[in-house]
Amino acid sequence: MKFLKCILLLPLAVMMLAPALAWADPDFWSGQWPNTNFDKTEIDYREILSGGVPKDGIPAIDSPKFIPVAEAGHLTATEPVIGVIVDGEAKAYPLQVLMWHEIVNDEIAGIPISVTFCPLCNASLVFDRRVDDPERGEMVLDFGTTGKLRNSDLVMYDRQTESWWQQFLGRAIVGDLTGLELKMIPVRIESFAKFKERAPQGSVLIPEDDGFRRYGMNPYQGYDSLHHPFLYEGAVPDEVAPLARVVVAEKQAWALDYLRSVKRIETPDGLVITWEKGQNSALDAAVIGEGVDIGNVTVQRKMKDGYEDVLYTVDFAFAHFAFHPETPIVTK
């Protein structure tokens, strides 16, 4: 058991040492990134830190494999997945896979997408990979990991221009495509049981190689119970703890603990936010399927003929505050 715990904590030990490895210096980076235009950026390079791994050290999945929902016996009912349904096509991307890859370049209903997960921010976001660049015209991008972090959030890169992108914003922050933004696709961060109920004929992402990583294990054991996030020195919100979860939709934010206490929130502009039990935290226990119950959140808009899913996220409060300090967090 002690040996297993050491193995699980190793990535965190690496990250704790990472400030010593941080080089906010494009001249130093250019050797590994000869195709990145470091003369074009909208950020201060001192905000970027090394995550302790090299370019593509966390490998994206580019040829995803799927099995039918009915065959996914390796997932517990309460295990978290990113559920994507577009024009009747349904795919679930388990966090037990994304934990080790962070990016999946895929396609659904004819739309090229990137499914992304940043464990340190608890940010699960799905992007349309198509952009329209004024100089290059329409492009379909595919993404990898830079090994860098900004505000403790994943910095991605596109393989077409090697511009760097902030995962939390879906925005290019370094390189030729600086200033472009990816369209985010509304999805649900839900338990496998919830996805299976919504899409019994859907499919589930599986690893290309079962032996590549310890799928189902959480290398960040106990992370969401810490008092302070790793590799983050910015300001934190006053309303809630830095690693408390917040639900964010249409420039509004609610503490997950508050939503859990009231179960349902209806806003004057027609949003309906609900909570019910039955989803594990991916960042609590050593085994993801045994994590503390953080519940399932849905965010929809009330329409004349029913309800429609809208874009929402469930992130750590410090990350929300770092990128959207103007948006207060409702706690009561």
pLDDT digits (tens, 9 = 90+) for 168-225: 999 999 999 999 999 999 999 999 999 999 999 999 999 988 888 999 999 999 999 9
Decide the pairing of beta strands 306-309 and 313-316.
Answer: unpaired
Tens digit of each residue's pLDDT (9 = 90 or more) over 241-269: 999 999 999 999 999 999 999 999 999 99
- The pLDDT assigned to 49 comes to 93
The reported pTM is: 0.93
- Cα distances from 164 to residues 53, 153, 194, in angstroms, run 16, 12, 34
- The pLDDT assigned to 25 comes to 80
Report the distance separating Cα 80 and Cα 75, nearest Å: 9
- Cα distances from 172 to residues 25, 40, 155, 164, in angstroms, run 18, 10, 9, 6
What are 59's two structure tokens?
């490998």
- The pLDDT assigned to 15 comes to 44
Alpha helices in the chain (DSSP H): 2-17, 26-29, 95-101, 192-198, 256-262, 317-323
Q: State the distance between the two ends of the chain, measured CA to CA, in whole angstroms.
A: 41
- The pLDDT assigned to 4 comes to 37
- By the 8 A CB rule, do 282 and 288 touch? yes
DSSP assigned state of 41: B
Residue 179, Cα to own-chain centre: how many angstroms?
20
SS3 268: coil
- By the 8 A CB rule, do 314 and 246 touch? yes
Report the distance separating Cα 122 and Cα 294, nearest Å: 12
- The pLDDT assigned to 24 comes to 62
- The residue whose two tokens read 């179960």 is 263
- By the 8 A CB rule, do 286 and 223 touch? no
Closest to 146 measured CA to CA, from 125, 167, 170: 167
- The pLDDT assigned to 325 comes to 96
Characterize 240-270 residue by residue with b for buried, 16 or more Cβ atoms within 10 angstroms of its Cβ, and e for exposed: bbbbbbbbbbeebbbbbbbbbeeeebeeeee
Secondary structure tally for the chain: helices H, strands E: 6, 24
Report the distance separating Cα 122 and Cα 314, nearest Å: 7
- The residue whose two tokens read 């226990």 is 285
- By the 8 A CB rule, do 167 and 155 touch? yes
Segments of the chain with pLDDT less than 70:
1-24
- The pLDDT assigned to 23 comes to 53
- The pLDDT assigned to 116 comes to 98
- The pLDDT assigned to 31 comes to 87
